[in-house]
């Protein structure tokens, strides 16, 4: 589970960087050269998602919980906005949901 969580964390960081750089270009008048590392980061994001051994829909659903947490860390460390207790509660609920999705027993459908 730790390995999966770490892989999700790296995956989320790749996605956020891949989206943040074009945002800098569009909203902050950054250089268009930012689009090259953004594209590479998004390609890395997609590749990292393929490293999970379970069904892609389940991976995407569980990954969403980790993405929320990493996005809130980004909010705090990059944007300089301290997450509220409501942000943290929401992140905890997302991680709980991710845990349920990833750790649920897999057997024949009821």
Q: Locate 40 and state its tokens.
A: 């590479």
Contact between 72 and 88 under an 8 Å Cβ cutoff? The reply is yes
**Close Cβ partners of 26 (under 8 Å, ≥ 6 residues apart):** none
Report pLDDT digits (tens) over 14-28: 999 999 999 999 999
Domain ranges, ordered by start, for the chain: 2-103
**What does pTM read for this prediction?**
0.80
Residues of the chain predicted below pLDDT 70: 1, 55, 108-110
């Amino acid at each position: 589970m730790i390995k999966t969580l770490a892989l999700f964390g790296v995956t989320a960081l790749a996605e956020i960087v891949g989206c943040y750089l074009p945002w800098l270009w569009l909203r902050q008048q950054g250089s268009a050269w930012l689009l090259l590392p953004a594209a590479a980061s998004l390609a890395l994001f997609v590749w990292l998602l393929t490293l999970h051994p379970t069904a892609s829909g389940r991976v995407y659903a569980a990954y969403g919980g980790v993405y929320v947490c990493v996005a809130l860390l980004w909010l705090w460390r990059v944007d300089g906005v301290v997450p509220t207790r409501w942000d943290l509660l929401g992140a905890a609920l997302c991680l709980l949901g991710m845990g349920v999705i990833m750790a649920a027993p897999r057997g024949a459908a009821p």
